[in-house]
Amino acid sequence: MCYHNVAKVELHCHLDGILNPSILKEILLKRNTSLKIEELESAYPVLCFDDFINWFNKTNPHFKSLPDYKPIINHHVQNLRTQNVIYAELMIPSGSLPLDKEKMLECVQEFREYTTAMENGKVQIEYIVAFGRNKTPQHVEERGDRILKLYDSHLICGVAVAGLEQGNPIKPFRKTFERFKEAGIGIEIHAGEWCGPESVHDALENGFPDRIGHGVSLFKNPNLIEIIREKQIHIEICPTSNLKTGSVDDIKNHPIKQAFNLGINFSINTDDPGTFECTMESEFKLLHDTFGFGEQEFEKIKENSLKSRFQKQLRYS
C-alpha cells in the first residue's frame, strides 16, 4: 500500500500546533527566536494530556502574532505538497490577530497571499479562525464580530471552537452562533474529545455545527449517531492526537472502523502535527496497519472530506 500517492484532504490542523524541532532549526538558520531548541525538545515526547498542555505552554508565548507563523507555514505547505495533500484548512488562533479591525483585515490578507504563493497549483490552503471555549459570552460576541468581518471579506471560510470541554459548554455562546449560522460561515466545534456524549449534544443544540472536531465519545450513544447521520454532520477524526491526549486508551479502541461501517461522513487529520509528531501519511499508515484500511476506504474519506470543506470554490481540480 502506497500512502504517499493517495490524494489527501486535511480539515483539522492548528497553526499553533505545527512547530517541531526541525522547523525551529530551520527558522534559527535565518533569524533568532526567543524559543531555544533545547526548550522545545524538552517538551517531547507528548504522551498524555499534561504533556500536551506543557508543549503548548512552552511554545505559545513565542508565537504571538500571525506574521510569527510565516516560517512555520512555509515549511508546512511544502510538507503538505510532498504528501499529496490536495486541499487543507488551517486554524488561525484568534489571539494572534490584531485587535484593530482594519489592521486585522490587512494582516490576514497579507498572510493569505504569502500562503497562496506557495501552493504551486498543488495544494489549496484555506483558513478558519479558532477561539477557546474558556471565554466569556461578551468576549466571544466581540470575537464573533471580527470573525464575521473576515468572512465577509472572503479571507476565511470558517470558525472553530477548541479548548477544554469540561465546565465550558457552548450554550452561553448560543447568540453568537446564531449569528454565525445566519451569515453562512462554516462552523466547527471540538466536542466529545475529553467529555461524554452530552458535550456533543450541547454543541449540536447550541452551536449549529457543520463539523464536529474529534467526536470520539459520540460513538457511545446510538441516538447521537443517528442524529449525526441524519443531519450529515461531518466528524473530523484525529487518531494520533486522540491516542496521545488520552481520549482513547489504545488505537485499536478508536471508533474509526465503526464510523466507516456506519457510513458516517468523516475525515482523517493530524490536529497538531508538531506536538504529536505525526503527518497525514503516518495517519493513513496507522489506519492501514490497525484497521486494514486501503484504497477503497481512503477514496471514500477523501470524497467525504472534500464534500465537507468550508471553502466551496476550488482553485485547482
Contact residues: Zn ion, CB under 5 A: 271
Cell numbers describing residue 192: 466529545
- Nearer to Zn ion by C-beta: 126 or 271? 271
Sheet of strand 266-268: strand arrangement: 8-10, 85-93, 124-132, 158-162, 186-191, 211-214, 234-237, 266-268
Measure Cα distances from 152 to 13, 149, 185, 228 in Å. Answer: 23, 5, 9, 28
Instruction: Measure the CA–CA gap between 126 and 111, rounded to whole angstroms.
Output: 11
Nearest CB to Zn ion, comparing residues 27 and 212 = 212
| Shortest reach from residue 89's CB to Zn ion, in Å | 12
Q: Does residue 85 sit in helix, strand or coil?
A: strand
Task: Pick the closer one to Zn ion by CB: 271 or 281.
Answer: 271
Q: Minimum distance from CB of 130 to Zn ion (Å)?
A: 8
Smallest separation, CB 164 to Zn ion (Å): 12
**Min. distance of Cβ 228 from Zn ion in angstroms?**
18
Rounded CA separation 77/59 (Å)? 20
C-alpha distances in angstroms, 231 versus 113, 175, 200, 211, 212? 35, 21, 14, 11, 12
CB 265 to Zn ion: min, Å? 18
Please state the closest distance from residue 283 (CB atom) to Zn ion, in A.
Answer: 14
Distance of CA 310 to the CA centre of its chain: 12
- Closer to Zn ion by Cβ: residue 27 or 194: 194
Q: Which helix (H) or strand (E) holds 123?
A: none
Give whichever of 165 and 271 is closer to Zn ion, judged by the CB atom: 271
* Spatial distance between the Cα atoms of 256 and 268, rounded to a whole number of angstroms: 9
Separation between Cα atoms, residue 212 and residue 17, nearest integer Å: 19
β-partners of residue 271 are 13
Q: Note whether 96 and 63 are within 8 A (CB).
A: yes
Query: Between 27 and 238, whose beta carbon lies closer to Zn ion?
Result: 238
Rounded to a whole number of angstroms, the minimum distance from the CB of residue 5 to Zn ion is 27
> What is residue 224's three-state secondary structure?
helix
Question: Could you tell me the smallest distance in angstroms from the CB atom of residue 94 to Zn ion?
Answer: 14
Contact 219, 225 (CB under 8 A): yes
Q: Which residue, 11 or 125, has its beta carbon nearer to Zn ion?
A: 11
As measured in angstroms, the least distance from the Cβ of 106 to Zn ion is: 27
Q: Are 264 and 232 in contact (CB under 8 A)?
A: no
What is the separation, in whole angstroms, between the first and last Cα of the chain?
24
Q: Closest residue to Zn ion, Cβ-based? A: 271
- Measured from the CB atom, the residue of 98 and 132 that comes closer to Zn ion is 132
Query: Which CB, 53 or 314, lies closer to Zn ion?
Result: 53
